[in-house]
Amino acid sequence: MKPKVAFFDFACCEGCQLQVANFGEELLDILEVVDVVNFREVMSENGEDYDIAIIEGSITNQHAVERIKKIREKAKIVIAYGACACTGGINAMKNNFEMPEIMHYVYKDDAKYFDTIPTKAVDQVVKVDYYVHGCPVYPKEFVDVLKCVLQGVEYKVPEKSVCTECKLNENECMFDKGLTCMGPITKAGCNSWCINNGNICFGCRGFVENPAKNAAIEVLKDHGLNPELIIKKINMYNTVLDEKLKKKGEE
Amino acid sequence: MPKTVYVNVEYLTRVEGHGNIVVNVTDGNIEKCNLEIVEAPRLFEGMLRGRSIFEAQHITSRICGICSCGHTLASLQAAEDAIGFKQSAQTEKLRKLLLYQEILDSHILHIYLLAAPDLLGVKSFVPLINSHNDVVRRALRMKKECNNMCEIIAGRHVHPISTTVGGFTKLPKESELDRMRQIMERMQEDMEATVELLTTLTFPSFERDTEYVAIVNDENEYPFLEGDVGSTDGVRFDKHEYKNYINEFVVPHSTAKHTKLSRDSYMVGALARYNLNHEKLNSEAKKAALKLKLEPGTKNPYLNTVAQAVESVYCIEESIKIIDELKETGVKHDEKITVGLNENKNIPVKAGRGIGAVEVPRGILFHDYEIDAEGRIINANCMIPTNQNLNNIERDMRKLVPEILEKTEEEITLFLEMLVRAYDPCISCSTHFLNVKFVK
Ligand code: SF4
Ligand code: SF4
Ligand code: SF4
């Protein structure tokens, strides 16, 4: 029997789901091996019986906390899909503000109607079995992860930094152009997508494990830069990971 | 006949973002007829404060996956307006090409995957894989091709990489121009088949008089990126004045912020653009409109989907024109820039305020940034198309429900869902919506 797959969206831009629709006709091949029972963005069918739950988006209110717990109870496998789910993604930038202050800035007196909590990654609420990093996800990696899920084997996120891929792609280093790039401290796996297209890495895949010790830090040193300063400068995607690191440090 | 109807569609499917429809009719009296928004707030405007305008595109693109290029362009326009930067003619062309591709992509997604299943009486495109395999394949192929186009122009569609304040960090090669031309030529055939398909579908008949709002200008081109804000009620104002004309307000029955201009509500999007600017469409798009019997002055919101098809034809033809122009003049590769966060201060920055107003697939989108002398954002505001349409959707619902009361509850639900979907709402975009629980 084909495994039943359900997509669920929490606070996010739904761009990662869209990556699935962008597979084009290959999507039909994927639909041969799995049975999609829930995909609200493009389906009205509402399957409540599923084996694999693919979670897009971050947890940003109490209602979402309850909802994700229920999904975890039903699903055999939970996949955090995209930066929003894996690390809190761009949504976690709000954690750098006091909640009442930022709520009042956007909604003024109507802020009281909201239920909001600081942004959490999915694994801060429930156990996550697989991660597909990136904002958006890199489609090839999603297929790789899906294959691992279907074969029941572990998927290992590369330990390397984006720099390793970037060098293989023979890009001119952004630091040589006088710009700051998150590549040295960001997990590889996107084939240095942004630098290949002439922009800097914004760090959407999250820190490499142990950013301070990782060999890639050499790039920063070569340019006389302090990794911490860079994190501060472009902390778009790592607020939650930063919180986790700090917590680990305290323990 | 007095009738009691209770409709509650939770987590409306096949729309972007989360919304519920709640209708309550007791003995023929409408007690409640609302589109509730249940999207969790993401607070983009708040998060932008303190950020460099050179990061704003990257951040605001992530407001919405479907409209990521639209948000990108509105953001860049606002940032460049604030610092007084003028884009080059080539940048203008490439940005336009990118927007045409996103409009095409989004319209195709809506026509085929979100709207067509209703008209064909199925719950999603999945059953269509068996019953209408060629149609599904065509839809996925067209979407994929738009994606390929965006990849060439901007690195990827969700979320564009090479579009920055000042221009592009990569530019298409000669061979890529050729490839884009081929893609668009193939798309012409698929688009013809799409128009053909739409002629066979019947849309619900329903009309309501309302105000239509879109970008207008005095040029000969159907406007998406440059111009004033205009309406079918004869209003016209500079985009910098948007806050003085458009009222954002909170209504007592719901705490979702609504907007209005000259009257109770207005509509933005493909139908609004068509009603205001149809004379400026190219001849192919005009032919399609004729074939699809889309009259100027159409007041049936369900036909927004048809207007999207007409615009899709327009976008393909105009894209070909731009590609040909670029081929003729040759792409000036020396215009390629690397900006990052403007560490090298190659782009002069000054304090000020800038407004971006761009027609994105679902209607006019405003980005508004106030920045300090270092280029850091002090205040930000984004006004999203769906936000502007919400009030109009609810007023449509309130006129529609009494007209279809004799139908079954199921049919009423479907008509309402179809109505909401016709607007192609993008609730995940709606940064301003308030979360509200309704008492039953
Ligand atoms: S990770 Fe990025 S692309 Fe994916 S849903 Fe979140 S904001 Fe959108
Ligand atoms: S710092 Fe950035 S540009 Fe330089 S090698 Fe690493 S990823 Fe590439
Ligand atoms: S290069 Fe950096 S920002 Fe771009 S996709 Fe890869 S990790 Fe994300």
The answer, for A215 touching chain B at a CB cutoff of 8 Å, is no
Mean pLDDT of A211-217: 57
State the pairing for strand pair B228-231/B211-216: antiparallel
Domain segments of chain B: what residues? 43-394
- For A29, A184, B161, the CA distances from B342, given in Å and listed in that order, are 44, 19, 16
Kindly report which listed range (A118-132, A215-229, B208-222) carries the lowest average pLDDT score. Answer: A215-229
H/E element holding B190?
A: helix B174-199
SS3 of A115-164: the string is CCCCCECHHHCCCCCEEECECCECHHHHHHHHHHHHHCCCCCCCCCEHHH
- Map out the domains of chain A with their CATH numbers: 4-151 (3.40.50.700), 162-250 (no CATH)
Selection from A73-87, B233-247, B380-394 with the highest mean pLDDT:
A73-87
The CA distance from A170 to the nearest CA of chain B, in Å, is 15
CB atoms within 10 A of CB B11: 12
Give the pLDDT band (50/70/90) at residue B8: low
Residue B384 — very low, low, confident or very high, per pLDDT cuts 50/70/90?
confident
| Per-residue pLDDT, B23 | 82
A159 pLDDT tier (thresholds 50, 70, 90)? confident
- Give distance in angstroms: CA of B64 to centre of ligand 1: 8
Query: What's the B159 CA to ligand 1 centre distance in angstroms?
Result: 9
List, for residues B175-226, the tens digit of each pLDDT value. Answer: 999 999 999 999 999 999 999 999 998 899 999 999 999 999 999 999 999 9
Ligand nearest to the CA of A54: 1
**Confidence check: pLDDT of A232 > 70:** no
Residues 54-93, chain A, touching B (beta carbon < 8 A): 60-61, 63-64, 89-91, 93
Buried residues in B365-398 as b, exposed as e (16+ CB within 10 A): bbbbbbbeeebbbeebbbbbbbbbbbbbbbbbbe
What phi and psi values does residue B386 have, to the nearest 5 degrees?
-60, -35
The residue contributing the CA closest to ligand 2 atom 4 is A173
Tens digit of pLDDT for each residue in B80-110?
999 999 999 999 999 999 999 999 999 998 8
- Alpha helix positions (H), B252-334: 270-277, 283-291, 304-329
Q: What residues form DSSP beta bridges with B24? A: B6, B32
- B265-277 pLDDT tens trace: 899 999 999 999 9
Most confident range, picked from A19-28, A34-43, A190-199:
A190-199
Q: Closest approach of chain A CAs to the CA of B146, in angstroms?
A: 9
Q: Which of B71, B18, B365, B385 is nearest to A11 (CA)?
A: B18
The pLDDT, as a whole number, for residue B409 is 82
Confidence of residue B25 (pLDDT cuts 50, 70, 90): confident
Residue A62 has pLDDT above 50, yes or no: yes
Question: Is A112 part of the contact surface with chain B (CB cutoff 8 Å)?
Answer: no
* Residue that wins the pLDDT comparison between B152 and A111: B152
Q: Which CATH architecture has domain B43-394?
A: Orthogonal Bundle (1.10)
Residue type, A17: Q
Is B420 or B176 the better-scoring residue by pLDDT?
Answer: B176
- Is residue B434 pLDDT above 50, yes or no? no
Q: Establish if A41 touches chain B: CB-CB under 8 angstroms.
A: yes
Task: Please tell me what DSSP assigns to residue B52.
Answer: B
- The β-bridge relationship of strands B228-231 and B5-9 is unpaired
Question: Among candidates B420, B210, B140, which has minimal Cα distance to B305?
Answer: B420
Would the CB of A227 count as within 6 Å of ligand 2?
Answer: no
- Cβ distance B434 to A110 less than 8 Å, yes or no, reads yes
Q: What is the pLDDT of residue A47?
A: 63
Q: How confident is the model at residue B428 (pLDDT cuts 50, 70, 90)?
A: low
Grade residue A241 by pLDDT with cuts at 50, 70 and 90: confident
The listed range with the strongest mean pLDDT (A153-162, A179-188, B146-155, B250-259) is B146-155
The partner residues of B247 in beta bridges, in order of sequence, read: B260
Give the pLDDT confidence score for residue B244 in this predicted structure. 84
